[in-house]
Structure 1
Amino acid sequence: MRRTLLAAVSAVVLASPVLAQAPTQSPTGNLERLSSFKATGTEEPKPIPQEGRRADALRRNLQKIKLPQGFKIDLYAVVPDARHMAVGPNAGVLFVGTRKNNVYAVTDRDKDRVADEVKVFAPSIAFKIPNGVCFSRDGVLYVAEQNRVLQFPAAEFFYEGPDVAAFEAVKQGELIPASEESYNHTARVCRVGPDNKLYIALGQPFNVPAKEKLELYGKTGIGGIVRMEQDGTKREVFATGIRNSVGIEFNPGDKSLWFTDNQVDGMGDDIPPGELNRATQLGQNFGFPWYGGGTTRTTEYKDDQVPTGVVNPQVEMEAHAADLGLMIYTGNQFPQPYRGGIFSAQHGSWNRTKPVGARIMFTPLKPDGTADKAQVFAEGWLTENGEYIGRPVDVAQLPDGSLLVSDDAAGAIYRISYGQ
């Protein structure tokens, strides 16, 4: 039965118009074998334990989290280094990226809204900072690495075994110029837009880049958002003037692209603000590096003329809270005031005299599609004495309308539900 299913899925995958254009060559032997539907001999990885002392400690910490009345938070899964998340459109399998070298598959088989199994996804592939995960509407999983984009058709069906159908949408070394690879700001995020194109945010590696870098970065989309066909062709720069966005999401209502941006460090505890931005068309500039955040000028560019037409942020967040992943709530489990609004994660500050963040924010949207005032939705991962008991990274929505929150410091994913 299993062979029959895999053969059927393979036939569908091979017939896919996206895969017909996908490259079959790879610098690694295993990836080349996987793209030809050949086994690699990799052993099945052992699942990550979901119970025991660590899980118990995580549940105790969750008792400290404050939520609006009627909401509750529970441990959904123990996932080491959990960063950005993608919920499969077919079976609801959750895929979780990291800033290390693993991607995880999280399965809730009995649908009791607690993970039954967490294991390494595609263990035969040597990932490098596979932070960004996202799905196309027809079930193709994309993994945006530091300098490569991988494509996994039918990931929700192939993930059970160690070998998965895998292809390169963007080859290693071609997402950004190899000369610009850095250890800093390398956590990519991706989304497949309403135009069916793949969007990827490319953080630039500096606090504030030197002026001689601007032409190259403008042409390649570093410090911006690029888009391309799902096979990696027809790449273009969609937006510029972005320091380091680690969260992008489309509003299904008006098709606008929302994104967070982490702003310049070292200017003081209270400046510049973090940003929540809205892109409504191709070619918009969001002001960096002339502005360090909001309308606060950087020291390095304070005497330079700001480009015309710069788009100001929709919301200025508290400085140095580290705004990362976001999503627009489309479910019906939460009360009406939350529907259609933006949930976003603040990772928490690292260079502020008094840390802020480590919480989930909610920003309602007005009837015209613009943002209203942001408000704290969930907090408590930063204690009164300044200790982090968790650092939220991303938010995602399960099919039942509940909210998932990833935490890379605690190595966990939480589930927030209402009235259950």
Structure 2
Amino acid sequence: MNPAIVKKLRIATTAVCIAFSATAIAQQSTTPPVKVPEGFNIQVIAEGIGSARHLSVTPQGDIFVKLNKTKNNKGVLVLHEANGKATVTLSFGNYPGTGLYVKNGYLYTSSNSSVYRYKLNSKNQVINPAKTEVIVTGLIERRQHESKSIVIDNAGNLYVNIGAYSNSCQQQDRQKGSMGKEGCPILDSAGGIWQFKADKLNQKYADGVRYATGLRNVVGLDWNQQLNQLFVMQHGRDQLSFLFPELYNDKQSAELPAECLYALKQGDNAGWPYIYYDPQQKKKIIAPEYGGDGKKEGDSKYIDPVAAFPAHLAPDGLLFYTGNQFPERYKNGAFIAFHGSWNRAPEPQKGYFVVFQPFKDGKPDGDWEIFADGFGGTPDDVAQGNAKRRPCGLAQGPDGSLYVTSDDTDGAIYKITYKKP
């Protein structure tokens, strides 16, 4: 190997080792080394599968994956895992999109405008891939925040993210100094979570109920079985210093607002676009488009996040761990996959990792911690935003293993396991 390349690899590996006291590394072909805590093991079980987003793992070792972009005109993959490898055994569904969920004998998937389902047999195999049942059609798709993440509760309700087709509901989107639209009409049809019936076919957008509002865009969401409640990770707004340079400098813009974890109940309002959450002040702050100056506090009618994370890291996956394989401290805690930032410049870009947020009695307990890091490549790759891979989807295997998709480049699936000492 070229000595220069060897030197770069040694530098990158040393940097990661300094950041962690961990020993397990995943590296296969062009995949960057990924570090996980001591006692855990991470391996790449599939590569080159396409733009893999959300996924689910069956008790029989099959992995359902949704592709954000179709590959060979197919948007849903089935892989079978055996002997440390997962190979594609079936592909179907000629539509792109991100959402995927398995519940009550059905595989649910989404495009950017619809939700579908497929009947499963007793082995959790799709009975007829050509028979696509339409659950909901006509969901808003307006080029910005168009992906539709989905989850199903224990009472037969389907929850769908309808992202706001705007950064901050300005009169002229992303234009310097443009103020916010009064009453933000976007919230009438987007910027929240909509609820539908999971077992009712051919529903229209108007048949849904706006379950929660004031959420700019949600890609990672999960149903917390311990609390029987919906939790979501919001993508916070962008470009504070670009839009309002008289109020924010570039460093503030890189660190504001927080990416927030919300526990939702029907009727909740998280406050977008009128407020954002400042992790330094630990307060809801009025957005500059609506008269804020970086200090004025927002209305108390908007709910507080239950946890806050660094700005612009793009949380795309959320999973509450209910397995028994990992140590007890992980039980009922939240794993979050951060796809990574694009808009922290001139500050370094960040993210491209999976974090763990401890929970106790249904509430965050203690600080979050980086659980798996290195997907992005070298420190220079990360700082410049040239990430080699970007974590996205999370799933729990039947044995308690954790699966992670990485949707950039050519698509990969990682498997994280733990072995007791």
**Partner amino acid, structure 1, of 2:192:** G
Other-structure match for 1:285: 269
Other-structure match for 1:82: 52
76 and 219 in structure 1: CA distance in 2 versus 1, 3 angstrom threshold: same
Is residue 364 of structure 1 aligned with residue 358 of structure 2? yes
For the 8 Å contact 2:75–2:94, the answer to whether it is kept is: no
Other-structure match for 1:408: 407
Q: Please, which moves more after superposition, 261-270 or 305-314?
A: 305-314
Is residue 228 of structure 1 aligned with residue 196 of structure 2? yes
Q: Secondary structure at the match of 2:290?
A: coil
Other-structure match for 1:132: 99
291 and 147 in structure 1: CA distance in 2 versus 1, 3 angstrom threshold: same
1:189 Cα deviation (Å)? Answer: 0.6
Other-structure match for 1:340: 332
Q: Secondary structure at the match of 1:66?
A: strand
Aligned counterpart in structure 2 of residue 196 of structure 1, from 121, 143, 156:
156
Other-structure match for 2:239: 266
Q: Secondary structure at the match of 1:265?
A: coil
Other-structure match for 1:243: 216
408 and 381 in structure 1: CA distance in 2 versus 1, 3 angstrom threshold: same
1:219 Cα deviation (Å)? Answer: 3.4
The CA distance in 1 between the partners of 2:68 and 2:27, in whole Å, is 21
Is residue 385 of structure 1 aligned with residue 380 of structure 2? yes
TM-score normalised according to structure 2 size? 0.76
The CA distance in 1 between the partners of 2:375 and 2:399, in whole Å, is 25
**Partner amino acid, structure 2, of 1:310:** Y
1:329 Cα deviation (Å)? Answer: 0.5
Other-structure match for 2:114: 148
The CA distance in 1 between the partners of 2:117 and 2:185, in whole Å, is 27
1:192-249 deviation line (CA, Å, top 9, x unaligned): 11222111111111111245585654333x1101111112555211110101110110
TM-score normalised according to structure 1 size? 0.76
109 and 76 in structure 1: CA distance in 2 versus 1, 3 angstrom threshold: closer
Structure 2 counterparts to residues 144-223 of structure 1, below 5 A: 144-154=110-120, 159=126, 163-171=129-137, 174-176=138-140, 181-210=141-170, 212=181, 216-220=185-189, 222-223=190-191
213 and 406 in structure 1: CA distance in 2 versus 1, 3 angstrom threshold: farther
1:93 Cα deviation (Å)? Answer: 2.3
305 and 70 in structure 1: CA distance in 2 versus 1, 3 angstrom threshold: closer
Other-structure match for 2:33: 64
282 and 323 in structure 1: CA distance in 2 versus 1, 3 angstrom threshold: same
- 5+ long unaligned stretches in structure 1: 1-56
Q: Please, which moves more after superposition, 211-220 or 307-316?
A: 211-220
For the 8 Å contact 2:352–2:387, the answer to whether it is kept is: yes
1:320-342 deviation line (CA, Å, top 9, x unaligned): 11111110001111111111100
For the 8 Å contact 1:264–1:293, the answer to whether it is kept is: no
The CA distance in 1 between the partners of 2:124 and 2:226, in whole Å, is 30
368 and 328 in structure 1: CA distance in 2 versus 1, 3 angstrom threshold: closer
* Runs ≥4 residues deviating over 6 A: none
For the 8 Å contact 1:394–1:406, the answer to whether it is kept is: yes
315 and 96 in structure 1: CA distance in 2 versus 1, 3 angstrom threshold: same
Q: Secondary structure at the match of 1:75?
A: strand
- 5+ long unaligned stretches in structure 2: 1-25, 171-179, 241-252, 279-283
Other-structure match for 1:11: none
Structure ranking higher in strand proportion: 2
The CA distance in 2 between the partners of 1:245 and 1:107, in whole Å, is 27
| Percent identity between the two aligned chains | 29
The CA distance in 1 between the partners of 2:285 and 2:355, in whole Å, is 23
168 and 309 in structure 1: CA distance in 2 versus 1, 3 angstrom threshold: same
198 and 66 in structure 1: CA distance in 2 versus 1, 3 angstrom threshold: same
Q: Secondary structure at the match of 1:269?
A: helix
1:86 Cα deviation (Å)? Answer: 2.2
For the 8 Å contact 1:103–1:120, the answer to whether it is kept is: no
**Partner amino acid, structure 2, of 1:131:** T
Is residue 302 of structure 1 aligned with residue 291 of structure 2? yes
369 and 104 in structure 1: CA distance in 2 versus 1, 3 angstrom threshold: same
